[in-house]
Structure 1
């Protein structure tokens, strides 16, 4: 799954596989993808396509999609308003939705994350989750507690399954547990150590037990899924069977793009050894390393709705409309403005858009094209106030790096180009892209290494900053991988 798809989860419903993944602080919340072969995926919607659940504000992590009977369930993590991280649940009569949210199930003082539903050897339903002790320099026990039949509340007492051993490869945490049954055992795949960013140390281990509540035995040869020359820090996924073969859909960083693209969805095959333990082919992911397939995206804004791959900051949902082949984006005065972005899939790419009637933007307003890290960290080329400007926003503080006089034009084309994930160049054109004027004029590149947050990749997209009475109109947007 090229692009930013951390913590992927997958389930088979009929002849179709359905997957979802962490969306963190980008909306819409939790992408929904489908496939018939586990390798070709189509984004068809989101668990929460509009407003996020009322009880949560941000950090929408680790959705676990499951099916029982005619119902689809998604257990997920989010930050509780006025509280800490908690595990919630939503359900639907169809994997594509619409989903009804049932609110949080568990939220311990140190945080509760990574919910996974599992029936024990007697058929009783449990929720498995991680207590987020590492957030306060404490251990990270994996808990199990009974769920009621409607999956709307926990019942009984929780019981610990296992926890991290800081003297081993697991370091300060274990998390992301997913469980399958095989030949009389429950097998718990789990991630350990540091998940994210350039210094990540993530890997995958496995433990097993005859009974769901234990005792659990960790595999002596852990970790069983580690780095190779192409993929780094593999972890947090779901084991799934396809045509008699076993795989794990998990995330990893591609070494060529690292944190700038984000943690991408990767499928790795494993087999069951004579000892009964799972073993990944080659011990790493995947056994035959392959570069992600570059993905090109174009939107002429001629549809009735935005294409489902558009994203926005989850706490600053923008107002927009599609009319007559134009995206009309209402500005915001807070942070860097109203933003819409597309996940990047390679470290080198070119994004372009056409801003209509830039000279008519009201005073104090700007609109244009940006490389978005989050609402307070971006690089943008914008027009407004009689100027075309290159603006750097870091930790909420903006400064103009270069500017040029805005020419008299009804359509200003803007371009950003990325190299190696973090080197950016910008340009503008007043003649429909026949000639380009670099900004700065000498074509100097700008360092965007500060852009991606610790758990997300960079998005490329449009923005509009200013009073909420300002509406910026865009005619097209494209995001194309560079050769």
Structure 2
């Protein structure tokens, strides 16, 4: 500290010493406060709207896929912290829906597993629906839509009232057309095939911080009260303003009152826009599994799954404990896919609008081609700096390459096409070749992408896997990629007539996470002109 004092005196002069020290202590205090309010990451990557239920001795979770497919990835855990993939709810689209598969809610009742979800109805709008299975990993039988309002119905949640009657809670999606967003409840048949009786409003977005929008309701009964954990304001993307609120009522149908201190969770130094989750109990303690954006990876990394313990206060409300020591999370810094099984791993997804066909044999993936923008498959990125590579085999008859994917109209990829390699940008459906090189004397070709700060990517390629040649001398900008409700994926593309195909070996993704805490320290020290710590 003495050396630090002398440096400050030398750099700033004695007259500014006290002011600079006050600034340093203020920033240090701010950092400590933010650290104490951090929550624990348990589902890294793009896992919006996580739902959780305990079945037997295990916990099961599921999350939104939106316009990625297969739909609704399932995870299982013994400790709520480390989760293992366990398949998907739907590997075929429900017959009534065409896209926007959102907000799955998993529950267990009378020996059956029920999945409530949102989908866009063919020729209609958003509806809430249900599916059922005998065990949590399926198979699931779709039961069809339960409610389809003109303005859309989303975010279903089941709950029994004080008399044991089964109800469905959901949100009317009025905000999509500039209208209010009431939360509704209606009695539901025990077989989950229909709602009965009249719907009744529970509450709506009428507090200033809610910005006219409430959604993602999860309800728990404790002592004399029902407690609704709900999300409010703008859920998604770079300009999100989401937060979490609490409301309570002595009867399920109300009247409901909102906590005067809402929001109970909002942005912190490490996480922003927290909300839309489900409560769960473990060893007599209560937890909330929900999503938030990392302040480092933001919309590029997507809404990630967090865990936060809460308790019930003496005055009958809820207080979050904001801990980050619920267990040790096993980090995933390197993912290797050698295509050695018969099916792709659960972390691969593709567009809900594409009929993607593939097969695997001899440690090789055959990905059938599709016309523009091509057949593509991808998986979540887990850091702001990462690299990926794949080997394209000489026998590929389609354009074959490595892709950074937003959606069907926003992709950037480097692909081999005959004796050329090209860097191709698809932005709002417009195609532009950013770079190209002629290939000579190569058999298989390894393509590598290096991403920095979420947004800048450089591609290189190699014929023998050791010496890599630069494809684009100026880093390509991928800040345009993430859709409003999803994150960037990195993966593979096969483009061409449907009878063509691309052949791939050895996909490797290396995430280079930057610690949020270290970044905060370094940013604070930079203000003072102090060298960064390591």
TM-score by length of 2: 0.86
Count of matched residue pairs: 471
Match of 2:384 in 1: 347
Which stretches of structure 1, 4 residues or longer, exceed 4 Å deviation after superposition? 285-288
Separation of aligned partners in 2, 1:236 and 1:323: 41
Encode CA deviations 1:99-151: one digit per residue, 9 max, x unaligned. Answer: 00011110100000000000000000000000000001111000000100101
Are positions 1:186 and 2:226 aligned together? yes
> By how many angstroms is 1:287 displaced?
9.0
Separation of aligned partners in 1, 2:421 and 2:77: 44
Are positions 1:451 and 2:481 aligned together? yes
Kindly report the root-mean-square deviation, in angstroms, between the aligned alpha carbons of the 2 structures: 1.6
> By how many angstroms is 1:439 displaced?
1.1
Match of 2:198 in 1: 157
Match of 2:48 in 1: 6
Are positions 1:123 and 2:164 aligned together? yes
> By how many angstroms is 1:293 displaced?
3.8
Match of 1:479 in 2: 509
Larger CA deviation: 50-59 vs 148-157: 50-59
Q: Is the 8 A contact 1:35 1:42 kept in 2?
A: yes
Separation of aligned partners in 2, 1:57 and 1:449: 28
Match of 2:343 in 1: 305
Separation of aligned partners in 1, 2:355 and 2:218: 32
Encode CA deviations 1:280-331: one digit per residue, 9 max, x unaligned. Answer: 125xx8699x999444211101112211111111111311001111100000
> By how many angstroms is 1:482 displaced?
2.5
Q: 2:272 aligns with which of 224, 227, 232?
A: 232
Are positions 1:275 and 2:315 aligned together? yes
Q: 1:323 aligns with which of 361, 377, 393?
A: 361
Q: Is the 8 A contact 2:82 2:329 kept in 1?
A: no
Q: Is the 8 A contact 1:230 1:291 kept in 2?
A: no
Q: Is the 8 A contact 1:2 1:292 kept in 2?
A: no
Q: Is the 8 A contact 1:332 1:467 kept in 2?
A: yes
Are positions 1:436 and 2:468 aligned together? yes
Are positions 1:424 and 2:457 aligned together? yes
Are positions 1:245 and 2:285 aligned together? yes
Please show how residues 92-107 of structure 1 align to structure 2 within 5 Å: 92-107=133-148
> By how many angstroms is 1:245 displaced?
1.3
Match of 2:32 in 1: none
Are positions 1:215 and 2:215 aligned together? no
Encode CA deviations 1:322-342: one digit per residue, 9 max, x unaligned. Answer: 111110000001x31001111
More helix by share: 2
> By how many angstroms is 1:367 displaced?
1.1
Separation of aligned partners in 1, 2:125 and 2:500: 36
Separation of aligned partners in 1, 2:404 and 2:467: 22
Please show how residues 24-35 of structure 1 align to structure 2 within 5 Å: 24-35=66-77
Separation of aligned partners in 2, 1:482 and 1:188: 38
Instruction: Give the match's secondary structure for 1:118.
Output: strand
Q: Is the 8 A contact 2:461 2:469 kept in 1?
A: yes
Match of 1:379 in 2: 412
Match of 1:78 in 2: 119
Match of 1:15 in 2: 57
Separation of aligned partners in 2, 1:189 and 1:292: 28
Separation of aligned partners in 1, 2:317 and 2:460: 55
More strand by share: 1
Separation of aligned partners in 2, 1:208 and 1:59: 30
Separation of aligned partners in 2, 1:309 and 1:270: 30
Q: Is the 8 A contact 1:118 1:125 kept in 2?
A: yes
> By how many angstroms is 1:397 displaced?
1.2
Instruction: Give the match's secondary structure for 2:130.
Output: strand
Encode CA deviations 1:1-52: one digit per residue, 9 max, x unaligned. Answer: 000000000000011000000001101100000001100000110001x211
> By how many angstroms is 1:212 displaced?
0.4
Q: Is the 8 A contact 1:407 1:430 kept in 2?
A: no
Encode CA deviations 1:396-440: one digit per residue, 9 max, x unaligned. Answer: 111100000022322100111111111111111111x21001112
Instruction: Give the match's secondary structure for 1:212.
Output: coil
Instruction: Give the match's secondary structure for 1:169.
Output: helix
Q: 2:393 aligns with which of 356, 369, 391?
A: 356
Separation of aligned partners in 2, 1:286 and 1:77: 31
Structure 2, gaps ≥5 residues long: 1-42, 514-534
Encode CA deviations 1:202-258: one digit per residue, 9 max, x unaligned. Answer: 000010111000000111111111111000000000011111111110000000100
Structure 1, gaps ≥5 residues long: none
Match of 1:399 in 2: 432
